[in-house]
Amino acid sequence: MKCRNHPAKDAIGSCTICGVSLCEDCAVKVDRSIYCESDVDSVFRPTPM
């Protein structure tokens, strides 16, 4: 499995939300989960008060 953004690199896992394959450089690790940049922003963005 290869990274969606870097096809020459092996993926370390898939985004928990969308399932896209990600390499070490692209993966955002939160606790035991992996997210892509766009999904981590949507999940963990603070909500306005």
pLDDT at 15: 97
pTM of the full predicted structure?
0.83
pLDDT tier, 41 (very low <50, low <70, confident <90, very high otherwise): confident
Q: Where are the domains of the chain?
A: 1-49
Cα–Cα distance measured from residue 40 to residue 24, given in angstroms and rounded to the nearest whole number: 15
Cβ(37)–Cβ(44) below 8 Å: no
pLDDT at 6: 97
pLDDT at 25: 97
- Give the tens place of pLDDT for each residue, 23-38: 999 999 999 999 999 9
> In sequence order, which residues have a C-beta less than 8 Å from that of residue 31 and are 6 or more positions away?
none
pLDDT at 45: 77
